Amino acid sequence: MQYKDYYEIMALARDASAADIKRAYRKLARKYHPDVSKEDDAEAKFKALGEAYEVLKDPEKRAAYDQLGANWQAGQDFKPPPQWDEGFEFKGGGFNQDNPAYSDFFAELFGQAGGRHAHDSRHSQGQDSHAKIHIDLVDSYTGATRTITISTPTPDAQGRVQLKPRSLNITIPKGIKPGQHLRLNGQGNPGVGTGSAGDLILEIAFNPHPWYRVLDTDVYLDVPLAPWEAALGTTINVPTPVGSVDLKIPANSKAGGKLRLKGRGLPARQPGDLFVVLQITQPAADSETSIAAYRQLEAAFDFNPRPLWEHP
Amino acid sequence: MTANKPSPVHTGTIIEDDCLSLAQLCQAAGTHADWIISLVEESIIETSGDNQFSGTCLVRVRSALRLHRDLGINLAGIALAFELREQLDTAHAALNRLGYKA
């Protein structure tokens, strides 16, 4: 079991006052709240913060934690000293029941969410559990079956709740968009007594693709063209997530111009479009022939690329 | 492990495509009708014509509950947080469309 430095997690000195702790919690909670934060590991950081605050805001728990001493390093292998908690009483400490899965370290010191036992005598429905999964763009195009692994709070033989990885085969519905949520009935936390299990809610995110960008149901693809292809027009073969298509490039196409392949975006109820964004890329003037060709171009055109600056 | 027994495949539903009554929304979000109604009054969520709520409302109600519980934000603050988050999402999407990693 690894030692957790709750003061380090909250960026506090060991002699921080109760007011300092509350302020630090508020500030960091706003920063890492999964509903507002854009940081990748916001959820994990917010959980760690909640656990640290649970201990430091409570004078009893904080005193017990402090008694372990200040010489531990975060992540160091940890065993509580014998009778370390003599004279402390943690029962009914107001645990946050919506967030019952604390770290092993917390569970070893303070037990798991004590308030949960209050429900034992009656039957209640299990809570929904939430997770975010990353799928490939093509999975949304075709629909797919994928095996996902999520961390699920699982009670062990001693009744302590720990996060355990759990594999699940799921169907990815065709046309699902990033940011949408998938509900799997009865796959959430188990109910108590005869209560039914909660649902598993999966937030869908797409793995970044090297070529395609997704905006709602529309998909964007950059297509580089040679200057003469853009000027004279041509037909080129462009990839789509489900096979390539021939695309006619009109003459006098400009860089940044968009060509729309209607209905070739995500196949949602209202199918999106695939936008081909034109880019022009020119070959280097790195040989006598190529330099001569550019010179010929220069001579052939009376071309001012900066007409805007002509009359300031 | 039994090698031959295939594990079951779970098929879910897309929450955003759902259509819920007020009672269903309360149950799914685990909250009271009063709270849902105050979210409607603050125009954090909207009912569709026939007093039905889309699945998107459920996602927003849950998010609003968490913001209220974890950060102590009131309704006006939640509405503002959602609005700013949407502006941020739009800006990120625009950057993404232009090929920048937001």
Residue B70 lies in a domain: yes
Q: Which residue has the tokens 């007011």?
A: A19
Residue B53 lies in a domain: yes
What pLDDT, in 10s, does the model give residues A162-179? 667 888 899 999 999 998
- Which residues in chain A touch residue B13, judged by CB atoms under 8 angstroms apart? 182-183
Residue B5 lies in a domain: no
- pLDDT of A312 > 80? The answer is no
What is the distance between the alpha carbons of residues A145 and A167, in angstroms, rounded to a whole number? Answer: 13
Distances (CA, A) of A309 to A233, A298, A304: 29, 20, 10
- pLDDT of A100 > 60? The answer is no
Give the pair of three-digit tokens for residue A169: 């085969």
Q: What is the pLDDT of residue B96?
A: 79
Q: Which residue has the tokens 């959980």?
A: A47
What is the distance between the alpha carbons of residues B102 and B89, in angstroms, rounded to a whole number? Answer: 10
What pLDDT, in 10s, does the model give residues B61-99? 999 999 999 888 999 999 999 999 999 988 888 887 777
**A75 vs A251, which has greater pLDDT?**
A251
Please report the ipTM that was assigned to this predicted complex: 0.77
Domain residue ranges in chain A: 6-206, 212-284
Distances (CA, A) of A44 to A29, A33, B36, B100: 12, 10, 29, 26
Residue B1 lies in a domain: no
Q: By the 8 A CB rule, do A215 and B96 touch?
A: yes
Which of B15, B31, B62 to mutate to probe the A interface, most A CBs <10 Å?
B15
Q: Please determine, looking at this structure, whether the domain spanning A6-206 carries the CATH number 2.60.260.20.
A: yes
The DSSP bridge partners found for residue A225 are A280
Q: Are strands A234-238 and A181-184 parallel, antiparallel or unpaired?
A: unpaired
Which are the contacts of B71, defined by CB distance < 8 A and separation ≥ 6? Answer: A26, A29, A30, A33
What pLDDT, in 10s, does the model give residues A215-243? 889 999 999 999 999 999 999 999 999 99
Distances (CA, A) of A23 to A27, A55, A180: 6, 15, 34
Q: By the 8 A CB rule, do A62 and A55 touch?
A: yes
Q: What is the pLDDT of residue A198?
A: 82
DSSP helix/strand/coil, B34: helix
- pLDDT of A310 > 80? The answer is no
- pLDDT of A151 > 50? The answer is yes
Average pLDDT over residues B24-46: 91
The total domain count for chain B is: 1
Q: Do B67 and A36 touch (CB under 8 A)?
A: yes
Q: How many CA atoms lie within 13 A of A306 on its CB side?
A: 4
DSSP helix/strand/coil, B13: strand
Q: Do A215 and B93 touch (CB under 8 A)?
A: yes
DSSP helix/strand/coil, A148: strand
- pLDDT of A91 > 50? The answer is no
Q: What is the pLDDT of residue A83?
A: 64
Q: What is the pLDDT of residue A88?
A: 61
Nearest chain B alpha carbon to A171: B11
Which of A45, A54, A183 to mutate to probe the B interface, most B CBs <10 Å?
A183
First to last CA, chain A: 71
Which of A25, A27, A35 to mutate to probe the B interface, most B CBs <10 Å?
A35
CATH number, domain with residue B38: 1.10.1660.10
The answer to whether A26 faces chain B, any CB pair under 8 Å, is: yes
Residue B89 lies in a domain: yes
Dihedral sign computed on CA atoms, order A12, A16, A21, A23: negative
The answer to whether B70 faces chain A, any CB pair under 8 Å, is: yes
Q: What is the DSSP letter of A17?
A: -
Asked if A6-206 and A212-284 have one fold, the answer is yes
Residue B3 lies in a domain: no
- Which residues in chain A touch residue B97, judged by CB atoms under 8 angstroms apart? 213, 215, 220
What is the distance between the alpha carbons of residues B52 and B25, in angstroms, rounded to a whole number? Answer: 9
Average pLDDT over residues A97-126: 60
pLDDT-derived band of residue A82, with 50, 70 and 90 as boundaries?
low
What architecture (CATH level 2) is domain A212-284? Answer: Sandwich (2.60)
Structural domain for B80, as ranges: 19-97
pLDDT-derived band of residue A115, with 50, 70 and 90 as boundaries?
very low
Residue B54 lies in a domain: yes
